[in-house]
Structures are given as C-alpha cells and as structure tokens.
Amino acid sequence: MTEFCLYRKAIRNITSGLQSGARVLFFSAVLLSTGVFSAGCRKQSSIDPNEPIVLQQRLRARVQTLDPMDVRDTTGTCVASDVFDTLYDYHYLRRPYEIIPMLAAAMPTISGDGKCYTIPLRRDVYFHDDACFPWGEGRLLRAEDVVYAWKRIADVKTRSVSWWILDRRIAGLDDFREYTKGCKPGEVDYDRPIEGLTAVDDYTLQIKLNRPWPQFIYWMAYIATAPVAREAVKYYGPEIGFHPVGTGAFKVDRWLSGAFVEASRNPRYYDRYPLDGEPNDIKDGFLADAGKPLPLVDKVVWRVVVEDQPRWRLFLKGLLDMVGVPKDNFGQVFTAGVKMSEEFTSRNIRMINFDEPSTFWVAFNMKDPVLGNNKPLRQAISYSIDRQKFIDIFFDGRAHEAYGFIPPVMPGYDPNIIAISNSYYDMAKARECLEEAKKIAGGEIPRMRIAIGGTDSTYRQMCQYMQRCMTAIGLDVEIDLFDWPTFLEKMRKGDMQMFIAGWTADYPDVESFMQLFYSKNIPYPNDCNYSNPRFDAIFEKISTMPDCPERTALYREAQKIINEDVPCAFAYHRVSFIMCHEWIQNVKPNSYKNEMSGWGMTKYYRIDPQKREEYKWKYR
C-alpha cells in the first residue's frame, strides 16, 4: 500500500508541471512503452513435465454417435476405434497386412469345415471406469459382452446399421432377429440362447457359422463388432451413443457435438507397443517405443474442422499435429510436382503418402431406360472421360487412373487390366460408340443427368468436369448436387441416372468390392442395380473360399465380366497424403484405416510437446 502511494506521488510530481494535453501524451507514452516492453519480454513458454501430453487431432465432420453398432461414417469410426477395442486388429507395423489378436488371447481355432470358431479372450481387459458400474469401477471383459454386442446388432428394435455384416452368417442369429420383431422395445430377452453364438465360459467365445466365411476374421477387427457392456446400455438407455464405455486405450471425457471430442488415457489399458515390424522399421524409428505400455500420450483432442482451409491453417500454426493436403494446397506443398517445397521442409514437416484401397467411378443406373439397355452409350461415356486430366485438376496428378474395380494396392490387382477394360480415355472410340448408341436408341440420346453426393465447390467442380467430358462427344448432360443423406436416399431408391460414387475396401480382400455388384445387394450397396448371374455365381463361390490362386483367378474373371457389361466407368484410385509435424512420431499408415486421425492408431503415436511449443513460438 505504501509502495503504491509512493508511486502515485511520484507520478503526480512528474505530471503536475504538465498541461492537460501534455499529460494525456505522457500517460499514452507510458502505456505504449509498457505494452511494447511487456511484449518484447514475453518468454517462450516451457513445458511443465507434469502437464499431460496432448495429441491434437482433427475431424472433417461432427461425430454422430459412438455406439459401435451404429457408427456409419469415417469420423465416427476414427473416434470409436480409439475408445472401443475389437477382438482382432491389424498388426500396426507388419506388411502385408496381418490380423493379430487384440481382445482375443489368440487367433481363433477354426473347425475343419470352416464353420466353427473358438476364440479365447484375454483375462486382463477392463471396461473404462464409468458410473454405470458398481462403485464407478470398470469390470473385466467377458465373452458374454461380445455375445451381447452382437445380439444388439441383430435386435430389430435397436435399428443397427451394421446388421448387413452378420445377416445370414451366424447360426440362429437370424432367428433371434425374427424373435425381436415380435417384442416391444426394451422387452427383448438378451439371455435367449443362440445356437451359433455362445460364451462357453467367461473367457471363451464360440461362433458357429451357417457356411464358411473366410473374411470373418476381418469383420472381427471392425468397430461394429466391438464388445459393449450391458450395464452401460441399461444405464444410459437411448443415450448410449453419447456415453461410450469401451475397453479401448482412451476414455471420452468431454464431447461437444460439432466442436470437439476430448479423451484421456485408459489407466488400465492392457496393450503394448509391438516388438517387431518390417525390416526398415528400426531404421525408420518405428521400433523406438517397442514394448512400451500404450497409449503413449495422455490425452487426445479431436477438433471438428469442416472446412479445408481453416484445418490447413491450424496445422501450419502447430495447433494440429497432422492433416491431409487439401486439393488447392498441393501447389503450396510441392515444388516441381515431386519435392516438398522449402516452406515445409524448413518447418520439419514431413509427408506420408500411401495408396488407398479405393476406386471411384461414374455409376450407371442399369434400371434406367436410357442407359440400362444401351451398352454402347455406357461405353461412349466411359471413353469420353479424360481421367488423367481429372487427376491433374483435382489431385494435382497424385492418383492412379482406374481401369477396373480392384485397386493396385490390393492382392488380385491385374497389371494388364487395361487390355480388357472399357474404362480409359479415347475420344474416337467414344464417338464411334455414341453413333452405335444412337441407332439403339432410335435417334438422339435424350438429356441425361449426373449427380454427386455433396454440394460444396469441389463436388460441383467434379460433376462439372464429368459433364464437360460427356458434352464434348455431343451428349446433353445436366448436373445434380445433393446433400449426402438425399444422395443416399436417391441411390437406394434407384432415382439417379448417373452418379459419381466410390468405395474404399474395409479389409484386404477383393470380396469387399465384389459385393457392390452382387444382384442380391440391390439397391445397396449394389447401387448400379447391376445383375449378372455369371458374376453372382463367382461371388457366391469366392465368398466361401479361402485365399488361394484359384480365388485370385476368379476375382479377375469377375472383373472381366464387369468390364464387359460396363455398369460404371471406373475413374481413379486415390492416394492419401498426410502431413505430419516433426513432434509426432510412430505414424505408420494403414491403407485400411485411411483416415489417420484415430481409427485405433492414436495409441501408438508419440508426441514431443517441447518441440511443438518451440514450433508454435517460432511461427506464432
């Protein structure tokens, strides 16, 4: 107090001799100099070792639900896969991709006929601590939790979007679904025994299939099949999607829909960093954390940033640890088309790129009266699309032209596919086919429509590009931009004539693509409404066959049939580009988990917060 009075007195002495105008100037100068001084003296903040290490992730859209059986989009899968563990998972480092046990204690024991799976479970897996459990303490995972989760998928009343995975697959599960149709909501007896889905004891699960299903192992690594605690479902009721209680490496603490999801480490998490990987992994530093308990960070924050440019700016400011490259920023990132520009190398930003198991195409509705019965018209459209130019414009030349549905990264890809394909650019052939098409149509081709499931500028431009290609050969084409739900609805109703669509394989098996053309999957996922008994026979045959050269030959045969019938004009296979800051380590891409902002991989990432702080300070 005394000190303050002395200061006041001193200031009064100085200012007393000044005129009022000069007094104002004096105080302004003091304030300004104080501001400048304090700004100049701002210190780079150092990291408190006790501060939790936070991973800063981003999401492209808001998370709709975190109930595994209802997760239907990439965003939800990203977060849910870090919160819920599945029975099996892909080995983080080994390539080619290998399925390894996660919640399971070992790989399944499969009976000779390929129908009976016996799966032992780990005995050290706990659910997250949550109010739904007695004393708020998570209990041990039991085989019954897997049985319960899968019964929930089958329950008609839950309206799970994942039923198609288990439909007609597990003995007795379809009967259970029929039984639930007659029950009132909340009255379904989940203790009702099912022949093909039983918990032999607390840690042994037995599954009997209706017929062999070699891809089953991949589905047990899929988020929809993750075990769920019955207590949580009972406690939270219809709100369970907003209160995830899983066994994963992270537990959701705060979730503001449309803004962010914040999760902290599960202190009782059982898994450890892999001890081995590919030969180069030691050199590349991927095994520096071998054997360490997971996760390697304390917290993860998924920030919802819908727009490309704000997401990109946040990354450059150091407020996101990794990000994809928006199409309009390729030029900024790369110089001369191949090397990263100086701006990024000087910031120690590194780029990871990998082929996605994805194919995109212009789909033709085979039930459409104009397109369905006019193969030369479909061929003409396919030949009219300049795929390389499309890739140059929208991906800065960084994608592959597609000649068939099997992406180059997947086993079964035929390098000579172009020889049997109708999906390549040839204007002369396009015009030739169009003349033939006009003869079939009995005159000029009526105006056609092409649609896309998005309304922003990139979608509009993609549609405009396709329109341009088709009008170049003399077709009259209009474009329709639909928001995603409307697009899906129209696709399911078969209301669209042509539309730009695509598929990313869920697992390393071409069957994932073949189901898109199987006639029993009309209208979804077979949205072309394509039907060919020869193709169906092959699909049915391979769906029960184990992986072998004969099966690969059948894939190629199926692809040949599709290329002959032209239910779609294949356009491109995507390549993913991920930009990472130097402080994030252990980022190894997985083609089957192409969105790297989670998807069960967050637990492996290591962060050096000091480096992040230095970067933020330098580029503030």
Partner 1 sequence: MSETTTQQNEPVSRGYWSDAFRRLRRRKLAMVCFIIVLIYAAMAAFVGIVETETFKKIFKLDVPIVRWNEQVGPSYQKPMAQYDFKPEQSETKVKGWSLFGTDFLGESTLRKTLYGVKTSMLVAFCASIISIGIGVPLGALAGYYRGWVDETIVWFYTTLGTIPYILLLMAFAVALRGREFFGVEIRGAPAVYLAIGLTSWVGLCRLIRGEIIKRKESEYVLAARAMGCSDFRILFSHLLPNVFHIILINFSLRFVSFIHAEVILSFLGLGENDKPSWGAMIDAARTELARDVWWEMAAATAAIFLISLALNIFSDALRDCLDPKLRID
Q: Which of 143, 261, 362, 463 binds partner 1 (CB under 8 A)?
A: 463
DSSP conformation class of 411: T
Q: Which residue number, 463 or 566, has a Cβ lying nearer to partner 1?
A: 463
Q: Which residue number, 141 or 325, has a Cβ lying nearer to partner 1?
A: 325
**Token match 């996660």: residue?**
102
Q: Which residue number, 480 or 582, has a Cβ lying nearer to partner 1?
A: 480
User: Are 362 and 500 within 8 A, CB to CB?
Assistant: yes
Peptide bond into 120 cis (omega under 30): no
| Shortest Å distance, C-beta 395 to partner 1 | 13
Q: Which of 64, 118, 198, 458 binds partner 1 (CB under 8 A)?
A: 458
Q: Which residue number, 354 or 394, has a Cβ lying nearer to partner 1?
A: 394
Q: What part of residues 568-587 is at the interface with partner 1 (CB under 8 A)?
A: none
User: Are 178 and 168 within 8 A, CB to CB?
Assistant: no
Q: Which residue number, 377 or 463, has a Cβ lying nearer to partner 1?
A: 463
| DSSP-derived pairing of the beta strands 477-482 and 448-453 | parallel
Q: Which residue number, 473 or 575, has a Cβ lying nearer to partner 1?
A: 473
User: Which residues have CB under 8 Å from 530's CB, separation 6+?
Assistant: 366, 517, 519, 522, 562, 565, 567
What CA–CA distance (Å, rounded) separates 5 from 448?
85
Q: What part of residues 393-452 is at the interface with partner 1 (CB under 8 A)?
A: 393
388 is an interface residue for partner 1 by CB under 8 A: no
Q: Which of 137, 444, 478, 550 binds partner 1 (CB under 8 A)?
A: 478
Q: Which of 352, 472, 488, 575 binds partner 1 (CB under 8 A)?
A: 472
What CA–CA distance (Å, rounded) separates 207 from 217?
12
455 is an interface residue for partner 1 by CB under 8 A: yes
Work out whether the CA dihedral 479, 483, 484, 490 comes out positive or negative: negative
Q: Which of 559, 564, 534 is nearest to 422 (CA)?
A: 564
Q: Considering CB under 8 A, how many residues would be counted as binding partner 1? A: 33
| Shortest Å distance, C-beta 328 to partner 1 | 4
Contact region with partner 1 (CB under 8 A), list: 146-154, 414-422, 467-475, 507-515: 467-475
User: Are 237 and 66 within 8 A, CB to CB?
Assistant: no
Tell me the three state secondary structure of residue 392: helix
Q: Which of 160, 162, 264, 329 binds partner 1 (CB under 8 A)?
A: 329
Q: Which of 172, 212, 293, 326 binds partner 1 (CB under 8 A)?
A: 326
Q: Which residue number, 335 or 486, has a Cβ lying nearer to partner 1?
A: 486
337 is an interface residue for partner 1 by CB under 8 A: no
- The phi-psi region of residue 77 (left if phi > 0; otherwise alpha if psi is between -120 and 50; otherwise beta) is alpha
| Shortest Å distance, C-beta 529 to partner 1 | 20
Q: Which of 156, 465, 544, 614 binds partner 1 (CB under 8 A)?
A: 465
Q: Which of 221, 97, 216 is nearest to 591 (CA)?
A: 97
**Two tokens, residue 480:** 């329709």
Q: Which residue number, 312 or 360, has a Cβ lying nearer to partner 1?
A: 312
368 is an interface residue for partner 1 by CB under 8 A: no
What CA–CA distance (Å, rounded) separates 306 from 321?
16
Length of the chain: 620
Tell me the DSSP string of 214-246.
TTHHHHTTSGGG----HHHHHHHGGGGGGS---
Q: Which residue number, 121 or 316, has a Cβ lying nearer to partner 1?
A: 316
315 is an interface residue for partner 1 by CB under 8 A: no
456 is an interface residue for partner 1 by CB under 8 A: yes
Cross-strand pairs, 121: 104
Cross-strand pairs, 308: none
| Shortest Å distance, C-beta 327 to partner 1 | 7
Q: Which of 116, 340, 479, 561 binds partner 1 (CB under 8 A)?
A: 479
User: Are 362 and 499 within 8 A, CB to CB?
Assistant: yes
| Shortest Å distance, C-beta 341 to partner 1 | 13
Binding mask of the shown chain, residues 273 to 312, with x at each position contacting partner 1 by CB under 8 A? -----------------------------------xx--x
507 is an interface residue for partner 1 by CB under 8 A: no
Q: What part of residues 58-97 is at the interface with partner 1 (CB under 8 A)?
A: none
In order of 74, 144, 468, 598, the CA distances from 86 in angstroms are 17, 14, 46, 14
Q: Which residue number, 262 or 480, has a Cβ lying nearer to partner 1?
A: 480
Q: Which of 332, 335, 521, 585 binds partner 1 (CB under 8 A)?
A: 332
Tell me the DSSP string of 238-272.
GGGGGS---SSSEEEEEEETTTEEEEEE-TT---B
- The phi-psi region of residue 442 (left if phi > 0; otherwise alpha if psi is between -120 and 50; otherwise beta) is left
| Shortest Å distance, C-beta 356 to partner 1 | 21
Q: Which of 62, 203, 91 is nearest to 600 (CA)?
A: 91
| Shortest Å distance, C-beta 549 to partner 1 | 45
331 is an interface residue for partner 1 by CB under 8 A: yes
In order of 303, 353, 471, the CA distances from 309 in angstroms are 14, 20, 32
457 is an interface residue for partner 1 by CB under 8 A: yes
| Shortest Å distance, C-beta 446 to partner 1 | 14
Contact region with partner 1 (CB under 8 A), list: 40-48, 102-110, 324-332, 559-567: 324-332
Residues that bind partner 1 in the complex, under the rule CB under 8 A? 308-309, 312, 326-332, 393, 454-461, 463-465, 467-468, 471-472, 478-483, 486
